[in-house]
């Protein structure tokens, strides 16, 4: 880097190939939460701007990880009514800076990275908060996040035997069921309603894009079920929030803001835990003394993005992937 600025550029294919395997990502997520709990991570609130397009925004997500001496920022956009790329309504790039002089050392495509880290955060929640020996998995939505999450859950929980999946398009849920059944050994059944996916499930993953009215009811949940809401409550009706005995999240301020701005009649459960607390203290009891369901919301924090991006960057240096672009 002497004499100029020449960051390494990694495109989607580079990031896809260089991401650590999911078990390593879950370990990385866990360690980053622990460091945040110890005060070794600096993550400000998201800095965002809205646009004249409904529900659309740009967010800047910077973070500093003191123990690893890693810095970076994700710049992410969300335009739900206009697909910016063939497979996504969101785009993201990551910029990494070295810690001594602050110069940028890498620029990478970050939407694939975002999906992977979000799935890892959901798996982290399931490891600590799911009922013991879960048997049946319920899925509302069958996009990237369930595709990342279900195979690892099948490995982590040998007791899982079956799953039900609902999505708005029959062709999508049928293709997902066939693919996941073949790849994991779970008996995955496509169903025609959200209720069919939720009822009887020990773990429920909801991952429906934000925008439409809620389609899932808290009354459908088993008493000790775990819900991992990748969609930040977009799927669940207001009654569901009052039903949960425990809420765990990595971004409570963001969740509170969403509820205040979009779900004025909803309320948070009385018992709230952070993913940092869970990572530090170990397993928390699922539900409360009355056996109520648990809600886990991996809202997304920049420290996780930065930690995963640095892992990708180091693997790129080791393998010779990417290309440098001289900026100065």
| Kind and range of the H or E run holding 71 | strand 70-78
Taking CA atoms, 29 is separated from 9, 54, 151, 250, in Å, by 24, 32, 18, 11
Q: What is the pLDDT of residues 12-64, one digit of tens each?
A: 999 999 999 999 999 999 999 999 999 999 998 878 888 888 778 888 999 99
Q: What is the pLDDT of residues 57-70, one digit of tens each?
A: 888 999 999 999 99
Taking CA atoms, 111 is separated from 25, 34, 123, 222, 233, in Å, by 16, 24, 18, 33, 21
DSSP notation for 1-58: -TTS---EEE-HHHHHHHSPPHHHHHHHHHHHHHHHHTT-EE-PPPEEEE-SSTT-EE
How high does pLDDT run on average in the chain? 90
Residues of the chain with pLDDT under 70: 1-3, 81-88, 210-212, 264, 282-290
| All domains in the chain, ordered by first residue | 8-114+302-324 (3.30.1780.10), 125-297 (3.40.50.720)
DSSP notation for 182-249: HHH--EEEE-SSHHHHHTT-SEEEE-PPSSSPP-B-GGGS-TT-EEEETTTTTTB-HHHHHH-SEEEE
* pTM attached to this predicted model: 0.91
């Amino acid at each position: 880097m002497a004499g100029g600025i020449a960051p390494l550029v990694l495109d989607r294919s580079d990031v896809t190939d260089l991401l650590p395997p999911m078990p390593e990502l879950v370990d990385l997520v866990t360690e980053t939460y622990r460091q945040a709990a110890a005060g070794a991570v600096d993550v400000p609130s998201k800095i965002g701007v809205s646009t004249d397009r409904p529900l659309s925004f740009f967010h800047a997500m910077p973070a500093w990880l003191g123990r690893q001496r890693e810095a970076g920022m994700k710049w992410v956009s969300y335009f739900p009514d206009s697909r910016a790329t063939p497979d996504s309504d969101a785009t993201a790039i990551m910029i990494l800076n070295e810690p001594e002089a602050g110069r940028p050392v890498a620029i990478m495509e970050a939407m694939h990275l975002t999906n992977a880290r979000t799935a890892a955060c959901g798996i982290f929640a399931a490891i600590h908060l799911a009922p013991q020996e879960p048997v049946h998995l319920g899925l509302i939505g069958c996009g990237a996040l369930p595709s990342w999450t279900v195979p690892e859950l099948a490995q982590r929980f040998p007791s899982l035997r079956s799953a039900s999946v609902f999505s708005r398009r029959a062709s999508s849920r049928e293709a997902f069921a066939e693919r996941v059944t073949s790849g994991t050994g779970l008996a995955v059944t496509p169903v025609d309603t959200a209720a069919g996916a939720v009822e009887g499930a020990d773990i429920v993953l909801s991952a429906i894009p934000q925008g439409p009215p809620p389609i899932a009811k808290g009354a459908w949940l088993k008493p000790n079920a775990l819900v991992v809401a990748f969609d930040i409550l977009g799927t669940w009706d207001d009654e569901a929030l009052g039903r949960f005995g425990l809420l765990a999240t990595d971004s409570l301020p963001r969740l509170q803001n969403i509820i205040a701005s979009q779900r004025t009649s909803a309320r948070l459960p009385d018992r709230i835990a952070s993913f940092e607390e869970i990572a530090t203290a170990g397993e928390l009891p699922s539900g409360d003394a009355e056996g109520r369901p648990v809600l886990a919301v991996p809202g997304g924090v920049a420290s996780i993005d930065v930690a995963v991006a640095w892992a990708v960057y180091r693997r790129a240096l080791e393998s010779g992937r990417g290309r440098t672009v001289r900026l100065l």
